Amino acid sequence: MSTEIKTKAKKLRLTEFAGGKNGLMISVFQDNFFANEFKDDDITHLFFAKNFSNIHLTKEQALQLGKDLIKWSKKWNKV
C-alpha cells in the first residue's frame, strides 16, 4: 500500500510505501526532465531512458524537498 505525501516542492511528487525487507521508504517523482531530447532512432538515448531514473532539482526544489523529507522522517522516528 502506498500513500501520497504532501510536498510544497514544485513539480515533485512524494509517495510513501512499504519496501519489504527495506522497511518504510519514500519515492520522489518528477516528469522526465529530458523527455523531449530523446530520439527514437538513437539506441544510446533509448538505453538511458529505459534503464536510468534520475531527478534534477532546482535549488528551491532541493531546499523544500529537504524540509519535507525531514518532516516525514521525524513523523516515524520521533526525532
Name the grid cell of 64: 523544500
pLDDT in tens, 24-77: 888 888 776 666 666 667 777 677 666 656 676 778 888 999 999 999 888 877
Name the grid cell of 12: 515533485
Number of domains in the chain: 1
Where in the sequence is the domain holding 16, given as residue range(s)? 2-77
pLDDT for the residue 53: 61
Distance CA 70, CA 40 (A): 40
pLDDT in tens, 1-11: 789 989 888 88
Please tell me what DSSP assigns to residue 30: -
Strand, coil or helix: 55: coil
Distance CA 76, CA 79 (A): 8
